[in-house]
Amino acid sequence: MIFERFRRGTSRRGARGSGAGLGLSIVKAIAEGHRGRVRLYETPGGGAGFALVLHAPRAPEGDPT
């Protein structure tokens, strides 16, 4: 739900910032476009954290890099 377009959360203090609510949906679309995902997790004391998980391609066998 939080990754839907135009979805805006509320801050802990009740004040709302400006924005259209597109940021997380764009991040999710980019991550999925690269065969990755976005993870959401709670932080101590309230709030949330986000992790972008992308998989690095494997180097061809015999490639020293």
**3.40.50.2300, 3.40.50.2030, 3.40.80.10, 3.30.565.10: CATH of 1-60:** 3.30.565.10
Q: Is the pLDDT of residue 4 over 80?
A: no
Decide if 37 contacts 30 (C-beta within 8 A).
no
pTM of the model: 0.59
Decide if 51 contacts 31 (C-beta within 8 A).
no
How does the average pLDDT of the chain come out, rounded?
A: 78
Of the pLDDT bands very low, low, confident and very high (cuts 50, 70, 90), residue 59 is: confident
